[in-house]
């Protein structure tokens, strides 16, 4: 069962992920570069931090709908944990109800 807070955070994160998916598709269409600038996918709806990442790394992380890119310090430790760290971003994995919301809202899902 997903509580209201987890659902709200999950919806915020899913919105940022959907925007980033559009950025990634546009970058590939334009064949502009080997990296893209995406939005932080934390649960804070007012966050506008940006993250630069290579397209191959972005594609690899996107294969799992429970993984998100966040700025260091933007983790919600009660619903996610860090699985990869970089100087400018962390990759977090959602747990429990937050993972359920992430799977439901996955733009790459079937």
Mean pLDDT by 10 residues, the chain (110 residues): 73 77 71 80 89 90 92 92 95 85 74
Q: DSSP letter at 108?
A: T
pLDDT at 85: 96
Element (H, E) at 23: helix 4-30
pLDDT confidence of residue 32: 61
Residue 38: strand pairing partners: 51
**pLDDT at position 64, please?**
92
Structure tokens at 86: 């970089």
Rg of the chain on CA atoms, in Å: 13
- Answer yes or no: are the C-beta atoms of 91 and 84 closer than 8 Å: yes
Report the predicted TM-score, pTM, of the whole model to 2 decimal places: 0.74
């Amino acid at each position: 069962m997903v509580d209201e807070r987890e659902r709200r955070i999950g919806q915020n994160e899913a919105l940022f992920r959907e925007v980033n998916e559009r950025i990634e598709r546009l970058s590939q269409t334009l064949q502009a570069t080997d990296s893209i600038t995406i939005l932080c996918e934390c649960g804070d709806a007012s966050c506008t931090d940006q993250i630069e990442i290579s397209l191959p790394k972005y594609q690899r992380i996107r294969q799992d709908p429970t993984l998100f890119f966040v700025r260091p310090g933007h983790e919600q430790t009660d619903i996610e944990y860090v699985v990869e760290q970089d100087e400018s971003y962390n990759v977090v994995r959602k747990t429990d109800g937050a993972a359920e919301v992430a799977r439901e809202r996955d733009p790459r899902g079937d």
